[in-house]
Chain A
Amino acid sequence: MPLLSIEKVTKSFGGLTAVSNVSMHLNKGELVGLIGPNGAGKTTLFNLLTGVYEPTSGSIKLQLEEEKNPRELGGLKPYNVTKTGLARTFQNIRLFKDLTVLDNVRIAMHQNIQYQLPSAFLHFNKYHKEEDRLKEEAERLLDIFHLAHKKNELAKNLPYGEQRHLEIARALATKPVILLLDEPAAGMNPQETASLTETIKWLRKEFDLTILLIEHDMSLVMKICERIYVLDYGMLIASGKPAEIRANKRVIEAYLGEEVSHA
């Protein structure tokens, strides 16, 4: 059984069907791409996976190795989805802008905190021990993205590329099993994209992750994803290995169609 199974998921807003009868799966350790023209429903699908929206119909199941039965994620609140092991980044960067880099990461660690309200008020020894551990772990994460020396800067003062990196670090701080990246290379120059590609590959190995990636930059997707799903008008129009997708007629049509309408 795959780690994550999306079964016939549909989401409609009033009369508009943003995601229609989509079925997908992620196997443990895979790096899967999700592509499609603008407005194809990619981000809506992410929002369904992470609990921001509730599916109109269909189910989303997470099968963890150590558990016997799969868990249903559809309809869970976002924080509960995060607790079960899905973490995400946002297409339009939603950092805690006026907080420090360190705090951004520490907030994401809250769900694993080992002290209770009394310690929060009275700063017992447990508080100090935990806070020290938290800080250490956060700094280790930041180090991976070369952000450790900027830990006391406000997130909004980081350059764009580093903000994207901080978002990934923050998502990792929730200790996810599955990482959902929403256009992580958007707005990056080719060098930055190249270095991001390496980082993503390395992260998957280092943190034993399964990654689902929405991306507009086709070269990035084709380069690193093992499998690709293609959405158009909310429907799944193709899936397969990068080479297969590149040759798929419907995919080419969908993208060409977009280009024609853009002109």
Chain B
Amino acid sequence: MEQFLQQVVNGISLGSIYALIALGYTMVYGIIKLINFAHGDVYMIGAFVGFAAITYGKMGFFPALLVAMISCAIIGVVIEKVAYKPLRNSTRIAALITAIGVSLFLEYVMMFFVGAEVRSYPKVLTEKAFHLGSVVINMQQIYIVLTAIALMILLQFIVHKTKTGKAMRAVSIDPDAAQLMGIKVDSTISYTFAIGSAFAGAAGVLVGIYYNSIDPLMGILPGLKAFVAAVFGGIGSIPGAMIGGLTIGTMETFVSGYGNSMYRDAAVFLFLIVILIIKPSGLLGKNTREKV
């Protein structure tokens, strides 16, 4: 039972991180129907920016988090403008291939500058841990979960209470109609990328702190898993991404804890394929069919 609770605790902290990344996937997909493959790499860049801010800028946790989020927001917008915007009217496969290209580009440009080796993250949080019976909750986990919750509340506020949020929802339903209603589609898409990327940046810093190591290829797997989370929750749905993130995180810690940690990644992908086949629209997604 205690091991079970411990896995739940670990799962929730890992899952919060996946949820933060998944939000970016889901928002971008919702608005331009693109699997932004490069999203995992934006998260990697967030981790490196946070690393630099703490190590060289001597910043604390929150300032570093903020710097990482802002940098990633800018990078996200630039990626959209340079690589995706010219392809807005081409096939989805062309857009997906471009996204893969951007992803490789970010990974290896980073590798070119910082090298391929794994770095250990500086310690910015106290090492304190709380014991509830034999269940251990450490300070990092509390920070991760609280930061994630705060950001998600912020996102809900943006999407449902602000003008930008309303524009985002309108564009995701029908970009042409939104344009006719006087919504600036281009800047709405930019906002979406900015917010999604900022969240990925935050997740990067949190992961750096949680796993204590970063490298230029660190974004690939968590990126894919966050995508799985987004699909599971129903791609395009914000609450879905949160539920999906937590589910994938918990599933992963349980497979590692009770089964074989080597099969952790395979389990996530198997899960993805099963969802795609049984319910491709995900938990909270809408079903669409092609008109004949």
Contacts and interface: CB of A to CB of B under 8 A. Distances in A.
Interface of A: 43, 47, 52, 90
A16 to B, nearest CB: 13
Contacts of B278: none
A33 B292 CA distance: 20
- By secondary structure, the B interface counts as loop
Interface of B: 292
Contacts, number: 4
Contacts of A52: 292
Contacts of B292: 43, 47, 52, 90
A51 to B, nearest CB: 11
4 contacts: A43-B292, A47-B292, A52-B292, A90-B292
Contacts of A90: 292
B154 to A, nearest CB: 34
B94 to A, nearest CB: 15
A90 B292 CA distance: 8
A54 B119 CA distance: 57
Contacts of A43: 292
Nearest to B287: A14
Nearest to B290: A52
Please provide the 4 A-B residue pairs with the shortest distance between their CB atoms, ordered closest to farther: A52-B292, A47-B292, A90-B292, A43-B292
Nearest to A78: B292
Nearest to A50: B292
Nearest to A94: B292
Contacts of A47: 292
B53 to A, nearest CB: 51
Nearest to B289: A13
A40 B292 CA distance: 15
A101 to B, nearest CB: 23
B91 to A, nearest CB: 12
A218 to B, nearest CB: 24
A52 B290 CA distance: 11
Nearest to A88: B292
Nearest to A46: B292
B287 to A, nearest CB: 9
A215 to B, nearest CB: 18
B27 to A, nearest CB: 26
A47 B292 CA distance: 8
A259 B292 CA distance: 25
A43 B291 CA distance: 10
A36 to B, nearest CB: 17
B93 to A, nearest CB: 14
A125 to B, nearest CB: 39
